Amino acid sequence: MKLSTKYYFILLSTVGVYYVISKIVFDKIYETILIVVDELFHIPQGLTYCNGNFSHWDPKITTLPGLYLLSAPIGMYLECNSYNLRFVNLIASCLNLAIFSSILKFIYGNNTESQFKIVLQAVNLAILPPLYFFSHVYYTDTLSLTFLLIYSRLCLNNRSKIFIFIFGLCSVIMRQTNIVWVGMVLGHKLLDILIRSSRVYGNSYLTRAKVSKRSPIARDIDSSKLKRYYGLYDAFVALKYHVTTSFLTVSKFVTYQDSCVIMQQCLVLSVFAVFMFINGSIVVGDKEAHKPTIHLPQVLYFLLFYGVFGLPYVIAKLISTMKLIFSNKLLALLLGIIVAIIVHFNTTVHPYLLADNRHYVFYIWNRWFGKYDYAIYATIPAYIFLIFSLYDNLKDQNCISFLLPYSVCASVVLGLQKLVDLRYFLVPYIVLRLRFIRPSFRIVVFEFILYVLLNIVTLYIFFTKEIIWTDFVEAQRIIW
């Protein structure tokens, strides 16, 4: 069997099994409760669009109407009900699995990685516990991720007529914060071009050799002249070079395809800027409850998210991470001081976090951070360790052209959110997970078992634990 044929056979078989199992879970969730938390707003709005009424809008909804617009065609073929609305996300979840696999296959190449291991990693991403649960209900997370993944996959190919613009715009219409990741992809590409072009045309030896932009060296084959991964100093040198040459040599390195991709990405950003100007905010509705607020501890909570769901990678690099910390004691101490200042002066609590006992974050907060005054300081060593652990898992397969734009964009998308919600961490974590060093088969299996167990436990709690809210006739359930 050819390698490509084997890959597609494994992928299609896996998607089929994934769908069958997920459909069983999907039906069980539907039988258990008809409205899950924020579906109180999403489902009526989805039904309104499904029935052809596009003039009504619930002011409590904060996202753009992408999810509801995509649900509208249901009314042409099927009954408009909550089951069919939720089913959209189940299908999107299956698509996500396939796109995850496609991205990983592109990253690892066709002949350098086990086809089964690639597909299994895609499964792990699809069953990432918070993401997996929301694939069974009518929320925006799953479908917005679908469009963002398609956009990212198109950008990896570096060629597209107009689809990069279309899917980039659609990902933002699904969820506004996706604009940050559209910007990250653009920033990654621009910084990469700046550094590599400076290495080719800014190096005196290469300049004397009159290297063509189409030469092997310019295409990053000669490792003595162009490195695979660059550091912060390389970015500084590149910027210095281009400033002194007024950025004139960049055009020699940028291809026609590069220009088309960059123009489409800039166009998405421009359209969003117009929306922001007209709307006056990134939030569509309920602006008072979702004002952008500087909340830097949110970035630290994301590190805890990585510590839990990236546990196999944390353990795999444990010894290496400890050595990294001890060899950078002063940096670790400095980070500790910075983090202490952040948690002391910037720890804030959104009223929703304290009021809604249907989320795990409610219990984590009230049994640790909210219960003990010293908790925000006692967690600092964990933050420092996880910072080094995360860097240890990224440093050998990523250069500054990714790490810098990612760090800026993740800080923006997380650090301006006052409400602590695990769903906000999904895309930042998935982006990182796709950039981790190539894991061993043992780590991938460990990750799979961990996620399966977490999903079983959380679904068991969802199905068995009832919470009575006077505002609802049905008993409420605990979700991520």
For 16-27, the DSSP string reads: HHHHHHHHHHHH
Cβ atoms of residues 95 and 15 within 8 Å: no
Ramachandran region, residue 220 (left: φ > 0; alpha: ψ -120 to 50; beta: rest): left
Identify the CA nearest to 415 among candidates 300, 290, 306. 300
Pair 251, 357 in one domain: no
Q: Please check whether residue 235 is in contact with residue 188, taking contact to mean a CB–CB distance below 8 angstroms.
A: no
CB half-sphere exposure, 167, CA atoms < 13 A: 19
Mean pLDDT for the stretch of residues 157-184: 92
Nearest 10 degrees: Cα torsion 315, 316, 320, 321: -40
Measured over the CA atoms of residue 418, residue 422, residue 423 and residue 428, the dihedral's sign is positive
- Give the predicted TM-score (pTM) of the model: 0.90
Answer yes or no: is 274 within a domain: yes
User: What is the C-alpha separation between 115 and 104, in angstroms, rounded?
Assistant: 10
- Residue 301 in any domain: the answer is yes
What is the average per-residue pLDDT within 372-387? 96
| Same-domain status, 268 and 342 | no
Residues 278, 298, single domain; the answer is no
Residues 319 and 397 in one domain: yes
Range of the domain at 230: 173-285
Last residue within a domain, chosen from 238, 264, 285:
285
Q: Are residues 244 and 300 in the same domain?
A: no
Determine what percent of the chain is predicted with pLDDT higher than 90.
67
Asked if the structure places residue 462 within a domain, the reply is no
Tell me: the pLDDT tens digits for 345-366? 999 988 888 888 999 999 999 9
Residues 308 and 423 in one domain: yes
Residue 405, in any domain of the structure:
yes
pLDDT score for 355 = 83
Q: Which DSSP state fits 245?
A: T
Model pLDDT for residues 225-242, shown as the tens digit of each residue: 456 677 888 888 888 888
Are 435 and 297 within one domain?
yes
Q: For 425-434, how does the pLDDT look when each residue is reduced to its tens digit (9 = 90+)?
A: 999 999 999 9
**Local confidence band at 201 (pLDDT 50, 70, 90 cut-offs):** low
Looking at the structure, do residues 298 and 238 belong to the same domain, yes or no? no
Q: What is the mean pLDDT of the chain?
A: 89
Structural domain includes residue 475: no
**136 domain-assigned:** no
Q: Is residue 312 part of a domain?
A: yes
> Is residue 338's pLDDT more than 60?
yes
| Residue 428, Cβ density class (10 Å: 0-12 exposed, 13-18 middle, ≥19 buried) | buried
**pLDDT score, position 46:** 96
Total domain count, the chain = 2
pLDDT tens-digit series, residues 106-155: 888 766 668 899 999 999 999 999 999 999 999 999 999 999 999 999 99
Same domain, residue pair 426 and 320: yes
How many other β-carbons are positioned within 10 Å of the β-carbon of residue 396? 11
Q: Among residues 248, 270, 285, which one ends one of the domains?
A: 285
Q: Tens digit of pLDDT for each residue in 21-80?
A: 999 999 999 999 999 988 999 999 999 999 999 989 988 888 999 999 999 999 888 999
CA gap 144, 427 in Å, rounded:
10
Looking at the fold, whether 325 and 200 belong to one and the same domain comes out as: no
Does residue 246 sit in the same domain as residue 369?
Answer: no
Instruction: Mark whether 320 and 229 lie in a shared domain.
Output: no
**What is the maximum span of the chain, computed from C-alpha positions, in angstroms?**
78
Determine, yes or no, domain membership for 278: yes
Domain closes at, from 239, 263, 285:
285
